[in-house]
Structure 1
């Protein structure tokens, strides 16, 4: 008996997705609730689980195809064995493989993927494995369920001292070899993922619909760094989480949003919506691209609560397990490009919001204190805002409030 595998409900207003990757091949044994496919939506990757125990049967769609909610994408044969449930396509493929094995062939690269390979590789990972001529079974995967990521393969290649990708296979003796001129340029076309298409569309829409302007300031990080160094061990011992800089900036943003409510507001039609709560979106880097989960009620959370929430988001963004509802809403965004070494940038406003705060790397620079030139750990701050709603005076005031709170963290405790 064959059971249909359908595209699950993906969330409010999401009606379709892209089949990003098959995690099981026809003929492979599967268990109930075991992931068999990965879907890419506008926001996150969603796994499709097998509804029953059995063997993977026919796959109705290919990787890269668009599928609608409720559509049948595969069949799972209940009660069949892996050996007997292979589809005709699999049988044909095995026959071809046997024919190829009977003939003399050129040296082959290490196996990359197949029915007997415990590690199912995504197209991007498979390509890198082939380029470097590596054996994926000897690489430790850090992705979900031990799956290989592109970074895992690159790290393995680096560990072997490979400066450049190696050829996948050598041409057979006597075979014609196309001449490749020295310094020849190559191109590769890769289809954009649904998430990357959505990011591109939303960023461009933000530029087209907002009167975006950016104002800058710098902040002396001495006080925050001293406080962090003084209490980080006690903080981690008590709360089980490291004390980072993001909780300081989130708390500072909460104070500034109260003082300048227009930054926390949004334009809807011909109305301005003011919020008395702070749901802070935090930009997080994920393998598929940038995602922006929301720290709900940041104004009510403690330092530890904010740090735990952000750490959880970061971990699950890498694993691809963030939920769609966790990235909806948000009244204000903080984006930390400093973790990648950015000195200064002009962030783009998240649609539905009126401003975004950009953080950057900390570096020692000469500044004047009490008439003396001294070295201080300084960071540039950037606030991009919708000038239709936020005036320049309000934007500068907001950024100054952030600066004051960071340079004197006591303000965060006494709500000043």
Structure 2
């Protein structure tokens, strides 16, 4: 096989394949070995021996090489050279194993068709939730189920930040800096904290769960940068914890996909998944809900998932990429907005003046939003200046469009000192 990309994951794959050659050969029924690699820097010390391997500077050339029968893409990115190299390998009838969630979220349906047209397949266990075998579970073990919902904590960086903020009362900025120092977050953390990483993974889970084409652009996306320690404390007082959740569900009008900070009751399994761990839950009509928890990133965990796909392919398994033939994937149909089953948490900074609270309640009533509770905090503001009170509202079940419309009216009325902050509440 040839491996394109020798970063943390690529080097870990080479190490694992070298350390467990006999074990993997017994599992697959044939020899499993790396014969060629591609990387930008030949002289870099990666902590593994690359002696005797054929080097390529161009991943497309590696994908075309007659010296490999399987192409492993670990470069990342939805564009070239990853896209060109993967397409080249598939056109040559070579199976591909990849951890590239961005590429598959953008072009998964197209690449699945290309694979099947050329009698091969794509393994992408490592692209979703690291070491958790969720792709194999959904593609194979749950084949007898109609899946109604799949959801989870899909980004370890965000989960680490929220855990530290809650447990130690640290600010978002301080926790992000610590995550960067420890290597959990990149120097530019935008991809993680704004939810794009989770959304790429959710797009793949949706295709597996519902048999639809991948549609990353239809995912409603919110990150965690607006979450404060005050929100986490308020959630705790109400019996909740805040997690960045990716949720996809089947509805009568189509598929709903969203990545948003979400309040979850403390007694739910996912609410207690902390640190850099990931977790995925799947609701099937026959098995009910199953939940899988494990490391979502890191060299060893991701390499484990890559090698699992390599062994499956070495055994001669050639399954449809998303569980059913690509030609039978239904076009993605975005669900119409509907009533949310869990209500909303709303944080407002309300000017401390007569009539302000009454005006806010009136705007909520105009949109038929029922309030479950109202909690007022201490007034804040410099002496002599107009102070504002922190107010937390918890709504009953309603629609997000109504929430947004009511809050826009409250802003227009001039009753609040800063933009409202809204978090969904997810029920079991």
- TM-score bracket, normalised by the shorter chain, equals under 0.3
Q: What TM-score, normalized to structure 1?
A: 0.26
- Structure with higher Rg: it is 1
TM-score by length of 2: 0.26
Higher relative contact order (CA 8 A, sep 6+): 2
